[in-house]
Amino acid sequence: MAYYRDKLGFTEFWRGGRKDGAVDYINLRTPGARGDYIELMIYDGTPTREELGTMQHVALEVPDVQQGFQTAVERGAPEEKSKPKIGRNGKWQLNLYDPDGSRTELMEPKASADANRLAADLQALRGTERLSDAQYKRIQTEYLEWIDARVGAGKTVDTMNTELRAQGLFSDWKDSVDENFKTHAGYLEPLSVRDLHAAGDILVIVAQMYQGALCSLDDTIVLYQRTPPRRIGQINAESGKYAHYLSGLDVGEKLASGARLIASGWTFSNCTSTWNGKTIRIDRLRETSVENILTRDLWAQDRFPEENVSARLQGVIVSFFYQGGIGDAELLSVPSIARYRVLAGGAIREAPVALTRAGFIREWLDMDDAEASRWSEPAALKARTPAAAAIKKNGIAWQGVSQCLAPIWEVAIRPNDTQSLYVFHISGARATALRMLAVTNKLTPGCTAIDIKSNLNSVGAELPW
Strands 58-61 vs 103-107: parallel, antiparallel or unpaired: parallel
Predicted confidence at residue 370, as pLDDT, reads 95
Same fold, 2-107 and 245-350: no
Q: How far apart are CA 143 and CA 211, in angstroms?
A: 14
Confidence at residue 14, expressed as pLDDT on a 0 to 100 scale: 80
| pLDDT reported for residue 255 | 92
In this prediction, residue 176 carries a pLDDT of: 65
Q: Give the phi and the psi of residue 221 in degrees, each rounded to 5.
A: -85, 125
Q: What pLDDT does 137 receive?
A: 94
Fold of 2-107: 2,3-Dihydroxybiphenyl 1,2-Dioxygenase; domain 1 (3.10.180)
Rounded-to-integer distance, Cα 15 and Cα 40, Å: 9
**How would DSSP label each residue in 199-245?**
-TTEEEEEEEEESSBTT-EEEEEEEEETTTTEEEEEE-SSTTSS-EE
Q: What is the C-alpha to C-alpha distance for residues 57 and 169, in angstroms, rounded to an integer? A: 30
Tell the burial category of 456 from Cβ atoms under 10 Å away from its Cβ (0-12, 13-18, 19+). Answer: middle
Q: 10 Å Cβ neighbour count for 366?
A: 14
What is the pTM (predicted TM-score) of this model? 0.80
Which pLDDT tens digit goes with each residue over 139-183?
A: 999 999 999 999 998 889 998 998 898 888 998 777 666 777 789
Residues of the chain with pLDDT under 50: none
Beta bridge partners of 290: 285
Domain boundary assignment for the chain: 2-107, 112-235, 245-350, 369-465
Side chain identity at residue 450, one-letter code: I
The pLDDT assigned to 376 comes to 97
- The DSSP secondary structure of 258-287, one letter per residue, reads S-EEEEEEEEE--SS-S---EEEEEEEE-S
Are 192 and 205 in contact by the 8 Å Cβ rule? The answer is yes
pLDDT at 317: 97
Positions of E strands within 18-91: 25-29, 37-41, 58-61, 85-86
Domain 245-350: which topology? Answer: Lipocalin (2.40.128)
pLDDT for the residue numbered 237: 87
Residue 404 to residues 380, 425, 433, 444, 458, Cα–Cα distance (Å) = 17, 9, 16, 8, 13
